[in-house]
């Protein structure tokens, strides 16, 4: 059964918003401009941006786990 156009549009719009949010986060960390003008430099810069994003997500998760442990110990 085919998806209706409105449901499909909403799913695509949500994906677009998520991408915009990720781009904004990378800009916040100073990765909005690539100082190198070569393809190799650009590829390295993109890899750096992805690594920074993943490390940030891991850090947030570790902080959340640490806070959960503190709450359990306090109870």
Whether the per-residue pLDDT at 3 is higher than 70: the answer is: no
| Residues spanned by the domain of 26 | 5-74
Name the residue with higher pLDDT: 75 or 70. Answer: 70
Q: How many domains does the chain have?
A: 1
Whether the per-residue pLDDT at 15 is higher than 80: the answer is: no
Please state whether the predicted TM-score (pTM) of the whole model is above 0.85. no
> For position 75, what pLDDT does the model report?
65
Among candidate residues 12, 31, 35, the one with its CA nearest the CA of residue 22: 31
Tell me how far apart the alpha carbons of residues 61 and 40 are, in angstroms, rounded to a whole number: 32
| Digit-coded pLDDT (tens) for 18-66 | 677 777 877 776 777 777 788 898 888 888 878 887 888 898 898 988 8
């Amino acid at each position: 059964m085919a998806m209706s156009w409105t449901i499909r549009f909403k799913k695509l719009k949500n994906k677009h918003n998520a991408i915009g949010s990720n781009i904004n986060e990378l800009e916040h960390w100073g990765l909005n401009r690539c100082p190198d003008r070569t393809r190799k430099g650009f590829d390295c810069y993109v890899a750096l941006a992805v690594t920074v994003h993943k490390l940030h997500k891991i850090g947030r998760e570790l902080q959340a786990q640490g806070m959960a442990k503190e709450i359990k110990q306090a109870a």
